[in-house]
Amino acid sequence: MAYDDDLAERIRELLAGEAGVTEQKMFGGLAFLLGGNMAVAASGQGGLLVRVDPATSDDLVATTGAEEMVMRGRPMQGWLRVGADDVRGEDDLRAWVERGRDYAGSLPAKPPKKR
């Protein structure tokens, strides 16, 4: 399944004007990075992947529709999967994008990769 182009465009609009935002295809979707750190992605499996402070992961899973991301059978603390139905509304999407942006922005910037 390809990522949702409309969702990617909605994310792009929310991050417009944010310094240091780049886009990169990863995890079968389109990721939005801040300072080289993934903040949020339009997932290739539908919905969003959101990077959050690992200390808040369990609480967000317990109080929202988010689920912890699992990669190769391993749960990934601080990486959440949010279903497409949970980001249909602009306020809902904005809240998740802001969570991801805020956490990625708190991390040290990564040096650009050599090509």
29-59 pLDDT, tens digit each: 999 999 999 999 999 999 999 999 999 999 9
- Which uninterrupted H or E stretch holds 59? helix 54-63
63-95 pLDDT, tens digit each: 999 999 988 899 899 999 999 999 999 999 999
Residue 27 reports pLDDT greater than 70: yes
- Which whole number is the average pLDDT over 87-108? 96
> What is the value of pTM for the model shown?
0.92
Nearest to 27 by CA among 11, 51, 62: 51
> Is pLDDT larger for residue 17 or for residue 94?
94
Indicate the fold that domain 5-106 takes in CATH. Aspartate Aminotransferase, domain 1 (3.90.1150)
- Residue 26 confidence (pLDDT): 87
